[in-house]
Amino acid sequence: MTFPLAARIAVATVWLVFGLVFKLLRLVPRHERIVARILGDRVAPVLTRLIGLGEITVGVWMLSGLFAPWCALAQTLLVVTMNAIEIQKARDLLLAPWPMVAGNSVLIALAWYAALAR
C-alpha cells in the first residue's frame, strides 16, 4: 500500500467513525450536546444525525478518490468552520479544544497530501 492511499483511508476512516459511530448511532452523546448548544435543543437529535450522514458522505467521497482536491477543499472548509463555531459557542463541551485543532490540522494535511500526491 502506498502512503497516499494509506492517508486517504485514514482520513476517510476518521469521517466515517465520527459520522456513523459518534453521531448517527449516538454512541458519544457529547456530540449531540454540542449541536444542541449551537443550533438548539429541539433540533439537535435530527440535525446531529444529518451531520453524521454528511460526515459519512465525506468519508465515502474521500475513499472514492474522485475529485480529490475538491474533497480536500470541502474538508478544509468544513473542519475550519466546525472548529471555529465549536470553540466559540461550546468550548466547555469540548474535551480539549486546542489539541482538537492540532489533530484536525493533521487530518486536513493528510487529506491534502492524499489529494495531491496522485
pLDDT (tens, 9 = 90+) of the chain, 118 residues, equals 899 999 999 999 999 999 999 999 999 999 999 999 999 999 999 999 999 999 999 999 999 999 999 999 999 999 999 999 999 999 999 999 999 999 999 999 999 999 999 7
d(CA 111, CA 6): 11
Domain boundaries of the chain, sorted by first residue = 3-116
d(CA 18, CA 99): 17
**Predicted model pTM:** 0.94
